[in-house]
Chain A
Amino acid sequence: MNTAVTDLGELIGREYKEGFVTDIEADTLPPGLDEGVIRFLSAKKNEPDFVLEWRLDAFRRWQDMKQPNWAQVRHAPIDFQAISYYSAPKSDADRPKSLDEVDPKLLETYEKLGIPLAEQKVLAGIAVDVVFDSVSVATTFKDKLAKIGVIFCPLSEALENHPDLVRQYLGSVVPATDNFYAALNSAVFTEGSFVYIPKGVRCPMELSTYFRINALNTGQFERTLIIADEGSYVSYLEGCTAPMRDENQLHAAVVELVALKDAQIKYSTVQNWYPGDEEGRGGIYNFVTKRGVCRGDNAKISWTQVETGSAITWKYPSVLLEGDSSVGEFYSVALTNNCQQADTGTKMVHIGRNTSSTIISKGISAGRGQNAYRGLVKVLKGAENARNYSQCDSLLMGDRCGAHTFPYVEVKNPTATVEHEATTSKIGEDQLFYCRQRGLSEEDAVSMIVNGFCKEVFRELPMEFAVEAQKLLGISLEGAVG
């Protein structure tokens, strides 16, 4: 139907719904990066000396490193001297003690996103550690968590109050020199969250952070560290949106997870940063290093991600399966529309005996989007009876987009069982017609079919996140067929 195609054109042209900028005066460092900047950052945070040394070491090594170029993404060279490495809301000195003291504009921002902090706090029982640019401005439910020994706070606070704990684990999963972006992050990280779950404690609520990138030309370099001590459990949610902006913004976060014996960490992400406009102008560059280690027997780490935003996504949440019978999981939905590019996947490294991993990846490409799954399953010599199951499905909408699959398998132990399944399908005209014949609009039909395609991943998300993810997918795909 020609009429339908025209409507689709309009829908594709729809503007990014979360695109707005909050006007809060930022205390921003001029662009540029040298040792002086790093010393400034460290002093600003009153960091212990070991952190400064660690930062400087990372910086020196970073200077000798090159940006990786193996990913299936293209972008103009990034000038790291043109980026400002610090921006904090002005009221940093006296942080608000409660929501009443939080800048109303900030609260307004969250309300526009449909996630009023106050309401979320009460209704959902979620402790929220908000990262607004580089400084946390609100932390809730801290007392309740503190009673059972759970530490959930900004990383800078953890460095002040629990330096030994941080020192023990910081960089122990993602070393400072792991890769170009991780090294950069190690040198200049400004904020992030720290979580410690004591032995045998099941964290009674989902822990959640809400990231936004706001101040102009400020890259964000969060660093998150989560430690689940023996026999503990935690579910952590990370959700992001960013206001509309013309400049490309760099985001290079590092997330480290440590699960000790019998511990479980479930880490879920919904990422909806500004993807750039239809022509590929603007949008976030998202170069993230996420890795977890199962450091004891029967430990389990599960990554679930729904990636609908960013101009470029470069992200491989991975699990090192050191402990015997430890389990790694990766569930991913990555969507690219217009000119978005995603190169994402996982690494499962089997080290202990009887370790198992599951990889379910759903890539959706629409418009001129390019979507690559890149994954490595590595079974080391000592990993007797390791098992992996990988399933990578790609869904194409239209004929200008692309889907690519790069599965790498390295097996050094003959007892391993490694399975890989991959499918690529086009969203069927016949599926669409079937739904429309039953009275559904084309838009609803697309959303329903795509949500069906992603079901195996969505059911891994905590309930409230699953709802948000489905909504996002619908918004991101409206009219992507045609």
Chain B
Amino acid sequence: MLKISKLTATVDGKAILNGLDLEVGPGEVHAIMGPNGSGKSTLANVIAGREGYEVTGGSISFLGQDLLSMAPEERAREGVFLAFQYPVEIPGVANVYLLKEAVNAARRHRDEAKLDAMDFLKLVREKLKLVQMKEEFLYRSVNEGFSGGEKKRNEIFQMAMLEPRLAVLDETDSGLDIDALKIVAGGVNALRAPDRSVILVTHYQRLLDHIVPDRVHVLAGGRIVRSGDKSLALELEAQGYGWVESDPSVVSAA
């Protein structure tokens, strides 16, 4: 599904990713953990193609295509979805309007006809249940005046509507109380599928209690320094990131 090789990237001229390798197979859920400044969010943004994140070397192949040569909207239409750490507000634009445009942009890309209003509404209602949101939520302006929890649920709702091949969740658990966390996790779990891969970028192990990953990677200094199964996350929780950063063997282990 996704193959990242020797990826290096800078932000404002500062090297953030320093030769990152990562391979995610279809249907797999990978967690990327690491301390602040290790490059987690940079990785998420580079995959989505955000301006200001300059790739200086390496490659990303997505379903056999060169992802780095594609504009952000092309990546999105090909099935790359980023759940934002800080979803932006768009005053005056109804949530449902953005969704309709987004869904139809992807359908156009696949040479499919636009969803008619009835089918769209049916789909919307079904997916709203997934994140336990009321229908009035559709008619509010995108993220405007939403609570932190609502914003994150909205991201998962959009993901459910767009049915991406690869979903990158950038610290979707941050700022969530336990109830909201459960709803978000429930939404993600319901979307796990053999042809859909998920990358969870997170600080904390607690998200992984609810979304159980196939693989866990530890990012430090812009590269993956340790990989393992879900038990690695528990080990990190017990010992802290200082453990991976101070252990000289981890660099070679990567």
A contact set with B: CB distance below 8 Å: 1, 3-4, 428-431, 433-442, 444, 448-449, 451-456
Whole-angstrom distance from the CB of A46 to the nearest CB of chain B?
Answer: 51
A residues in contact with B92, CB < 8 Å: 451-456
In the bound complex, CA of A453 to CA of B142 (Å): 12
Residue of A nearest to B97 (CB): A448
The residue in chain B whose Cβ has the minimal distance to the Cβ of A7 is B71
B-side contacts of A453, CB under 8 Å: 91-92
Complex: chain B residue closest to A425, CB-CB: B91
Name the residue of chain A whose CB is nearest to the CB of B107. A439
Cβ A436 vs Cβ B73 within 8 A? yes
Segment of B46-54, B182-190, B207-215, B219-227 in the binding face: B46-54
CB distance from A51 to the nearest CB of B (A): 46
- Closest beta carbon of chain A to B70's beta carbon, Å: 9
Q: Could you give, for residues 90-122 of chain B, a 1 whenever the CB lies within 8 Å of some chain A CB and a 0 otherwise?
A: 111100011001100110010000000000000
Contacts of B98 in A (CB 8 A): 435, 438, 440, 448
Asked if residues B88 and A1 are in contact (CB atoms below 8 Å), the reply is no
The answer to whether residues A449 and B49 also contact, given A436-B76, A439-B109 and a CB cut-off of 8 A, is: no
Contact status of A437 and B48, CB under 8 A, knowing A444-B101, A448-B93, A452-B93: yes
A440 to B90, CA, bound (A): 14
The answer on a CB contact under 8 Å between A440 and B82 is no
Set A1, A439, A449, A452: member contacting B162, Cβ < 8 A: A439
Partner of B88, one of A4, A431, A448: A431
Residues of B within 8 A of A429 (CB): 51-52
Contact B73 A439 (CB under 8 A): yes
Considering the complex, give the chain B residue whose CB is closest to the CB of A459: B92
Closest to A428 in B: B88
Q: Which of B35-58 contact A (CB under 8 A)?
A: 48-52
Find chain A residues with CB under 8 A from B91 CB. 452-453, 455
Q: Smallest distance from the beta carbon of A474 to chain B beta carbons, Å?
A: 13
Residues A433 and B93 in contact, CB atoms below 8 Å apart? no
Min C-beta distance of A416 to chain B, whole Å: 29
Contact B71 A438 (CB under 8 A): no
For B82, the chain A residues whose CB sits under 8 A away are 437
- Assembled-state Cα–Cα distance A437/B102 (Å): 9
Q: Which residues of B contact A1 (CB under 8 A)?
A: 49, 51, 71-72
Once the chains are docked, how many angstroms separate the CA of A455 from the CA of B72? 27
Say yes or no: B73 contacts A441, CB within 8 Å.
yes
Closest-CB distance, A5 to chain B (whole angstroms): 10
Contact B50 A440 (CB under 8 A): no
Report the bound CA distance from A136 to B105 in whole Å: 45
Q: Is A438 a contact partner of B76 (Cβ separation < 8 A)? A: yes
B101:A437 contact, CB within 8 angstroms? no
On whether the beta carbons of A439 and B105 are closer than 8 Å, the reply is yes
In chain B, positions 53-70 with a C-beta closer than 8 Å to chain A are: none
- CB B27 to nearest CB in A, in angstroms, measures 23
Q: Do B71 and A3 touch (CB < 8 A)?
A: yes
B141 within 8 A of A: yes
Check B87 for interface membership: any CB of A closer than 8 A: yes
B204 at the A interface (CB under 8 A)? no
Shortest beta-carbon distance, B190 to chain A, in Å?
A: 20
